Structure 1
Amino acid sequence: MTKRFGFVCVLTLLSLTATGQTCIQKYDSVERYKHSYPEKAKFYANALLVDLDSGRCVEEIGLAALYNNIGLLFWELNDRKRSVNSLLAGLKHELVNKDSIHKDLLGLYYNLSTINQETGDFETSGRYLNLAERVVNKWYLNNHEAQTRFLLNKGIYYRETGDFEKSLAALNEAVSFIGEKNDSIRITLQIELGTTYRHFGDLEHGEEELISAVELAQGNHEWLYFQAIDRLSSLKIEQGDYSDSENYLLHNLERKREIYGDQPDEMLETLNELGYLYYRLNDLESAESYMDQALETGKDLRNIRPYMLNNLGAIYMKKGNLEKAEECFTESSEGFKALYGTMNPDYASSLNNLAGILKEKGELAESLNLYTRVLDMDKVLSGANHPNYATSLNNVALLYMQLGNYSLSGKLLMQSKQIREKALGRYHPLYIKSLNDLGIYHLLMEDSVAAMEVFNEALDSEIKHMQDVFPVLTDRQRKLYFDETRYNIERFCSLAFSESFFSGQYAEDALNHFLNTKGILFYASEKMKKLIQGSGDEKVVNMYNDWRDKKYRLAQAYLLTEEERIRQNISISLLEAESAQLEKELSLSFKIFSDQEKSSYHTWNELSQVMKEGAAMVDIIQFRNYSVEVKDKKLKQGFEERERYAAFVIKPGNVLETVTWPMQTDFAKAFSLYKNALQFGVQDVNSYNVFWKPIGAHLKNVKTIYFSPDGIFHKLNPVIFFDSERDMYIADEYDLIHITSGKDLLYSEDTRFVRDAKIFGNPNFGRLAETHKLLQLPGAEREANDITGILDVRKWKSDTYYFNDATEGQMKRLSNPGLIHIATHGYFNDDPNHVDPLHSSGIYLSRDEASNNDGLLSAYEAMNLVLDQTSLIVLAACETGLGTVKNGEGVFGLQRAFLVAGAKNVLLSLVKINDNAARRFMNIYYQELLSLEDPQDAFFSARRLFRKEYDNPYDWGAYILVSKNF
């Protein structure tokens, strides 16, 4: 979907004086018809240009201005070549009698700079901007308005070339020239400052500038007010703040309709932005509605309609309505053809979309015909070494694959890959796509080794790119980015864990890829930013902002072609080195920043090296069988529904042992038997054999297990598995510590146990009791009172929050207590298709009437708490260990959220046990904690003591301890 709006073009109309009637009439005709009848406008524009070039306007004054203005009209009519030539003709005319830095040339220099900038010729654009600077310095040195305008152009130029620091410097210098004035110039500067900050990922400062622009413009400068609102709305979409964006845009649309009812083009940007917003939200009905309104509003603007149709076609395509999508793309292509002819990139793009529709409909011959036409057009328009040409090659190759012409398909895929690698580099998403497409081709050719090679390279690049760009993405953007990566990792695992590869290097590579992406969505960069910027340490704040700028520039650089990087003098290796150096300095200056290191790529060998004797890590990986085939001229690929598992046992001394289960193992059935045995108090003799026996064979002489589950294993507590042959439970043999990611073993640190407890019990659920069917928890309050009594000893400090005091707001205000005990209800949504898994699990607390808190503390909110010196969180709520299970990412639940917030250990429940048993376990646990002051030792000791009183594994196995400190 193409937004099309947003580029800031600072173009200048020059005054026309004393021109002859014929030339003026033609110029007026161009102006009159440029929107409604662009081909007629082109006719008059060309006629006027002929008159100018032939000297028929020779008696007139203002020829340079006429060339300038007709050049801008050609630009609006998308005739870039004539546009530039007209401006150059105007410049040539002026230079006959004037030197190169005469003040009359300033407007032409600005326009030539801006137009070359938009075409991507930054070198030429910069040359004209330098000439403009010489003019300003000679003629307007003490003219603040002229200086401000130059700096505005300069700031935009540097923004478009990717130089964030120089862009900001120029725009801020322009602000300093105008002082305290609150006129249209200041508002324009703030809009551009906000846009610059947004463009480079500093959404917080961008928001500040745009909000300020909105406030200054409101009631004083209407058009700028609407522009600032549209820019702010676009920023809000990037922030994932869709609610605010929607409110702003709807307000803007309403006001515009009141004021500009007879000027429909004023509405288009807002309507388009609303369509894009709802498209992002997957609210395709609303997206379609607003794009329809945009089409109706701009029905007489023939140079806009094809773009809107293209966007509407994308919406229909996403909805699966191929017929309507085809209609839109057909009309869009015809519109582009009428406007710009057949050798035009927009026309080629719409034909490409149309070819994709025909391919989906199975009309392969027609699709191939269109794709081939686009291929020829791209070769002429962009050249045979351009990424656009490579994309067309790739499209044709994939279609030949469906048609069964594998030889030609493979040849074109390789050609496309080579162009993309040279032009874009190894970390660009399009190069990664080439590798994945080649992998599919090799699988169809039954060359699994070649397929694994390119899939492996693709994942190496994809994960590297992901780790570099994640710091400057919003949480929602990270999720969308990772969805595709998750698919590619599972495909690689499926192939790597096949019988032919499972004991080889590819299985190890799959394990490493899995290690480096498990838990990656829990980055908590918003918390890190808030803490650093609120630290009061200006040096650290500046260093952090510099790091984020470089990270963003690096993310942008990956998306540029090699040619564009050279032209803009951007070095990826230099940006990577500078970013790494800043990370080291920040880690020394600010402890929370050391978490950034966890995004580095690690291998299982590193885990083995930090493992102590007698310890082992068991990493479970869920996967599904993957297959791909061409059947009935359709490429069919995907996963079976049935889940399979592999396990890796990592031991000291670089020892890695692989574990597999027979293909016929029915894990879902085994889990049902596990639950039934617990529920009805029947001894479970099945789970050990199904879930654990294949692993146990690799655990001789092991006492401590670091257990990293995946999939259905998240819902199990292995310590209660019973080995009937040896008449013992797993708990009798091992200390099993749950971890969320093996990388946690690399970042363990010694922390002092702080004797400061915050205890929350039996919140007042208020209205939530009705809507969520909650009962009050007097037993939880008694449990919390017991704990307070146990901890009420010398050198311990404890604060209790019951009923109305146990608020969500109070929880959010906590700062690094040693221990938090929370006795309340938990919630989770186990639907894997839930829109936002980070909001699908949490706990119920009291609503704080004086704030906007709703009484539901979600995992997302918990993730951003300040708990970096907190040793232990106890979640004494039913089933708080559960959450939405996402393969390759772990449980999106409270356990992971509190660990990301900084807690070293989280004790939680997998099942609900009766109040008396729960109260007794907690009493024993806190007595042991008081004595041992180590959450892990206290947990294992308490469980052994508790088993003597409650021998049912449903009771003593209800709790698990999830840790990241060892």
Structure 2
Amino acid sequence: MASTLLSLGLFAASIGVSASVVLPVLGQEGRSFSAEKETALKEAARLNQQVGQLYQQGKFNEAIPLAEQALSIHKRILGENHPDVAASLNNLALLYQNQGRYAEAEPLFKQSLELNKRLLGENHPDVATGLNNLAGLYQNQGRYAEAEPLFKQSLELNKRLLGENHPDVATGLNNLAGLYQNQGRYGEAELLYKQSLKLRKRLLGENHSLVSTSLNSMALLYWSQGNAGDATDLFTQGLQIEERNLDISLTVGAEAQKKSYLATIAGTTDATISLHLQSANNNPNAARLALTTLLRRKGRILNALTDGTQRLRQNLTPADQKRFDDLAAVRTQLATLYYSGLGKLTPEQYKDRITQLQQQATQLEADLNNRSAEFRTQSQPITLEAIQKQIPADTALVDLIRYQPFNPKAKQSEQWGKPRYAAYTLTPQGTIQAIDLGEADAIDQLVAKFRRLLQSSNIDPKPVARQLDALLMQPIRTKLGNTRQLLISPDSQLNLIPFAALVDEQNRYLVESYAITYLTTGRDLLRLQTHSPSRQPPIIVANPDYDRPGDPNSTAQLRSSNSPIVAQKSIQPISPSQRRSGQRSTDLATLKFDSLPGTAAEAKAISPKLPDAIVLTGSQATENALQQIQSPRILHIATHGFFLQDFPSLTPNKTRASALPLFEGTSTAPAIGLGENPLLRAGLALAGFNPRKSGTEDGILTALEVSNLNLRGTQLVVLSACETGLGDIANGESVYGLRRALTLAGAETQLISLWKVSDDGTKDLMVKYYDRLLNGTGRSDALLLTQREFLNDSQYRHPYYWASFIPSRDWRPLNLTMGLG
């Protein structure tokens, strides 16, 4: 049997506090079988390949039935006594272990180990793997006395089989050190960690991911001993390597792959924040490391997608496009080498190949930096100094994070605590200020209650708004001094509330005291320094005729544009009509719409303020027309918006996926079914929506399609509709909905809504907003002043009317003098 071993570090890939484990990916058996049996074995191999991929993504629930099926096939075709059966037993045991199902995992690990000993002999790499995995299980259970001899046996066996100078030996040293650390045998652990680190640097190079694992492991060791200073220094080195490798990994693969990889290092994000807030809150280096890590990783997937190669290539010369292609190829090779291991290479060949590719990448990056301002902006290192320079005077960046506290002194099964919120503030000249805000569950419950109250104009939300403010913003205000301009980067459920509607100790809404703009991440401040020219005048889309098919000639006014980029999408079947008038929104069962006369009045009032605007209403307001746009200066869309909470699967009887953590207790992305994109569950209704005919489209502009619009150079997008700021919540990654789609499309600023808005009230708010905006008031201040005016109006003083819309990203005035590019 030729089996390939895929080494996966559970905690080792994140913070390095537990043993690396090995997941076999089965090869083909050497003897001949009937065609039927050969087909079955190929299917088992395919299943195990899927198991390996799902394991890496932390999707253990999805992997278990596939592993069980592969095991059943191998037993049926090969019998009970075969190495491939042993490997399948091991696979299934690993999955059970990572779900905490230790009692089910242990007998499978033992069966696999004994079977390999009997079939392959005591001196075989698969036996070393089995010893390591069983030891790891005992370590997770706190059965340290049983784990130690097994780790030692595995280490000695690898030394004998592979030699003293091999990466697997370094992993064995790291594993045994982790066990000693758990036992409080710090001196012995430190010696082994140092040996492992030295060996990995020599064999794999200074910037390999396993080197960062060793550094992070030693950081935890010093943290456990109360040495926060050395722990911070080692974490800084380890995370610098992770950042370098993250840059490489996020340049390749689909979004799901990027999310899966980022999840493997989520533990170090939580650990650095925990180190600062819980053990070193007076250490400026620990504060600096925590905030730097937060700024680098929050919203990282969104940035990686926004900086996609296709958009960059559009702005490069043909020669530079070739350099960019070459750089992408080199990064792909590097990513493959980092995470596939030695393969057939010797350690020397492996290290030489990585060094060669790193040098090629560095040279290509330098060439592109010299020739492309946009590439230079997007590839520059993220530092506190760079971001601090972009914070305006008298303004504070408030970066909120939902994190999981980590305690290295606790038993391994108890090291991760309940999620909490924290806030970091940064001003142009001031030092970093940070505060732990408390358990996330209590805050999230108030957030949900606050949102419900805001959506009814008949209920006073102030008592709950005050309770939430006391937990959330009151502690932050103690760090702000006299600062009244806030750039807030929310996280998790906090993305769904208007901070302006919170109530302070004087029973005043925050809108009365603070000007607030929302960012996905503090890194937005760097990205906003690069501007693209607009290519079209403002475009206003309003009052679509939902009942009649959209005009296929609706693109006549946009004929100067290039051909549209059309996204793949799913067409939602029509449910029984439950019409709702006077609100710009929909529920899951509401897939037909009545007209919104307020949007017609809105367009009529706004269009004279934009004399060169293209106005598309009635049957002209089609999906086709919107897909034709090319970087209009302003895009204003007034229509019904929707966010579907529960999207029925397109594949019958398909179970929704559960995205579980790669290591115990760490938050990951939300559960999103395979093949189901959350950007398909948010969108806008256009002409022909009810009969599903809008030009050559169906009248449903999903967020996925919005993400493919060309809005680079669009200074402002106003979605004058309901719930356009909603979507699936992913911790650290903003909201998967229209706001994410608009960022991907390149819009500089968004004005989006958080609940079902009033038709007439929204029209009045938009007219006043544009009056101020076109008089030179900033994109955020124009909304702020309008909200304050509404607050003093007896008709609109309830936050239901004025707080739904929030400004996101660039807060500065429009450049009304900039011509079209």
Q: Which TM-score bucket, shorter chain as reference? A: 0.7 to 0.9
Query: Does residue 843 of the first structure (1) align with residue 683 of the second (2)?
Result: yes
1:823 aligns with 2:639: yes
- In the TM superposition, what are the counterparts of 1:516-915 in structure 2 within 5 Å? 516-523=296-303, 525=305, 528-531=308-311, 538-558=318-338, 563-568=348-353, 570-571=355-356, 573-584=358-369, 587=372, 597-598=377-378, 600-631=380-411, 636-641=414-419, 643-651=420-428, 654-660=429-435, 667-668=443-444, 671=447, 674-675=450-451, 678=454, 679=456, 680-684=459-463, 685-686=466-467, 688-699=469-480, 702=483, 704-723=485-504, 725=506, 729-748=509-528, 749-750=530-531, 754-759=536-541, 767-768=574-575, 772-774=588-590, 776-778=592-594, 780=596, 782-784=598-600, 786-787=602-603, 790-791=606-607, 795-800=611-616, 806-807=622-623, 811-818=626-633, 819-827=635-643, 829=645, 833-835=670-672, 839=678, 842-845=682-685, 846=689, 859=703, 862-915=706-759
- Note the alpha carbon deviations across 1:656-715, whole angstroms, 9 max, x for none: 251536769964565467457644125455555554344445555645332222345423
Seen in structure 2, the aligned counterparts of structure 1 residues 943 and 751 have a Cα distance that, compared at 3 Å, is: farther
**1:272 aligned partner:** 45
Q: Report the alpha carbon displacement of residue 551 of structure 1 after superposing the two structures with TM.
A: 1.4
Question: CA separation of 1:550/1:784 partners in 2, compared to 1, >3 Å: closer, same or farther?
Answer: farther
Distance 2:756 2:358 in 1: 53
Gap change, CA 1:635 and 1:852, over 3 Å in 2: farther
Report how far residue 962 of structure 1 moved.
0.3
Asked if structure 1 preserves the Cα contact closer than 8 Å seen for 2:219 and 2:235, the reply is yes
Displacement of 1:934:
6.5
Task: For residue 521 of structure 1, report the CA deviation from its aligned partner.
Answer: 0.8
- Give deviations 1:298-343, integer Å, cap 9, x for gaps: 4499565544444444445456555664455445445544554333
Q: What is the 5 A alignment of 1:251-270?
A: 262=35, 264-270=37-43
3-state SS, counterpart of residue 817 of structure 1: coil
Opposite residue 427 of structure 2, the aligned amino acid is: I
The structure carrying a bigger helix percent of its residues is 1
List per-residue Cα deviations over 1:429-460 (Å, max 9, x = no partner): 32222233333333433333333333333222
2:437, 2:471 within 8 Å by CA — same for their partners in 1? no
C-alpha distance in 2 between matches for 1:270 and 1:535: 45
Counterpart AA for 1:710: D
**Structure 1 position 461, deviation (Å):** 1.9
Q: Contact 2:447–2:494 (CA<8 Å) still a contact in 1?
A: no
Which residue of structure 2 lines up, in the alignment, with residue 509 of structure 1?
Answer: 289
Aligned to 1:57: none
1:202 counterpart residue number: none
1:343 is aligned to 123
Aligned partner letter, 1:476: A
Contact kept, 8 Å, 1:374 with 1:392, in 2: the verdict is yes
Shift of 1:899: 1.6
| Residue 15 (structure 2) aligns with | none
CA deviations over 1:568-601 (Å, ceiling 9, x no partner): 484355134223124326735xx5x56xx43543
Q: Tell me if the contact between 1:823 and 1:876 (Cα under 8 Å) persists in the aligned partners.
A: yes
What is the TM-score normalised by the length of structure 1? Answer: 0.64
Kindly provide the amino acid, as one letter, of the partner of residue 497 in structure 2. Answer: L
Q: Distance in 1 between matches of 2:144 and 2:268?
A: 27
- Cα distance in 2 for residues equivalent to 1:351 and 1:849: 63
Q: Within 5 A, what are the aligned runs for 1:42-441?
A: 262=35, 264-277=37-50, 280=54, 282-283=61-62, 284-299=64-79, 302=82, 304-318=84-98, 322=102, 325-338=105-118, 340-360=120-140, 364-441=144-221
Q: Secondary structure at the match of 1:778?
A: coil
Deviations 1:869-909 (A, max 9, x none): 22222223333323444443333443233123200111011
Q: 1:5 to 1:532 in 2, by over 3 A?
A: farther
Deviates more, 1:436-445 or 1:356-365: 356-365
Q: Are the aligned partners of 1:626 and 1:640 in contact in 2 as well (CA < 8 Å)? A: no
Give the alignment's TM-score, normalised by structure 2.
0.75
Q: 1:851 to 1:520 in 2, by over 3 A?
A: farther
Selected match of 1:460 from 240, 243, 267: 240
Q: Which of the pair has more CA radius of gyration?
A: 1
Q: Structure 1's 377 and 788: CA in aligned 2 closer, same or farther, altered over 3 A?
A: farther
Matches of 2:33 and 2:542 in 1, distance apart? 56
Equivalent AA in structure 2 for residue 960 of structure 1: I
Give the AA of the match of 2:66: S
Stretches of structure 2 that go unaligned for 5 or more consecutive residues are 7-31, 548-571, 578-586, 647-657, 659-668, 813-821
8 Å CA contact 2:715–2:749 kept in 1: the answer is yes
Structure 1 residue matching 2:721: 3-state secondary structure: coil
- Contact preservation (8 Å) 1:759, 1:821: yes
User: What secondary structure sits across from 1:646 in the alignment?
Assistant: strand
Instruction: Work out the CA distance in 1 between the residues paired with 2:186 and 2:439.
Output: 34
Residues 540/956 of structure 1: CA separation in 2 closer, same or farther (3 Å cut): same
Distance 2:99 2:461 in 1: 49
Q: Find the aligned partners of 1:342 and 1:600 in 2 and give their Cα distance.
A: 52
Summarize deviations over 1:471-516 as a string: whole Å, max 9, x none: 0132111111112322321221122123742462211221111111
Using CA pairs below 8 Å that are at least 6 residues apart, which structure has the higher relative contact order? 2
2:804 pairs, out of 950, 958, 961, with 958
What residue number does 1:918 align with? 762
Is this contact kept in 1: 2:712–2:745, CA < 8 A? Answer: yes
Instruction: Name the SS of the counterpart of 2:123 in structure 1.
Output: coil
Q: Report the secondary structure of 1:903's partner residue.
A: coil
Indicate conservation of the 8 Å contact 2:725/2:739, yes or no. yes
Q: What is the SS of the residue equivalent to 1:647?
A: strand
User: Contact conserved, 2:219 with 2:231, CA < 8 A, in 1?
Assistant: yes
Single out whichever of 763-772 and 477-486 deviates more from structure 2: 763-772
CA distance in 2: counterparts of 1:915 and 1:534, whole angstroms: 39
Which one-letter code corresponds to 1:791 in the other structure?
Answer: S
CA contact (8 A) 1:781 1:802 kept: no
Q: How many residues align?
A: 702
CA distance, structure 2, for counterparts of residue 850 and residue 3 of structure 1:
55
566-575 or 606-615: which moved more?
566-575
* Structure-1 separation of matches of 2:777 and 2:632: 15
Q: Describe the shift of the 1:401–1:380 C-alpha distance in structure 2 as closer, same or farther (beyond 3 A).
A: same
Q: Secondary structure at the residue paired with 1:878?
A: coil
Would the alpha carbon gap of residues 673 and 364 (structure 1) be closer, same or farther in structure 2, given more than 3 Å must change? closer
Q: Distance between the aligned counterparts of 2:328 and 2:640, measured in 1?
A: 39
What whole-Å deviation, never above 9, does each CA across 1:240-280 have from its counterpart, x for those lacking one?
Answer: xxxxxxxxxxxxxxxxxxx9954623543343213432562
Cα RMSD after superposing both structures: 4.1
Question: 2: distance between equivalents of 1:534 and 1:599?
Answer: 17
Distance 2:70 2:620 in 1: 45
The alpha-carbon deviation at position 384 of structure 1 amounts to: 2.0
Q: What is the aligned-residue identity percentage? A: 23
| Corresponding residue for residue 551 of structure 2 | none
Q: Secondary structure at the match of 1:472?
A: coil
Give the partner amino acid of 1:493: I
Q: Structure 1 regions of 5+ residues with no counterpart?
A: 7-258
Give the Cα separation in 2 of the matches to 1:3 and 1:857: 48
Three-state SS of the structure 2 residue aligned to 1:742 is coil
Q: Is the 8 A contact 2:423 2:436 kept in 1?
A: yes
Q: In the TM superposition, what is the alpha-carbon distance from 1:757 to its structure 2 partner?
A: 0.8
| 8 Å contact kept, 2:394–2:483 | yes
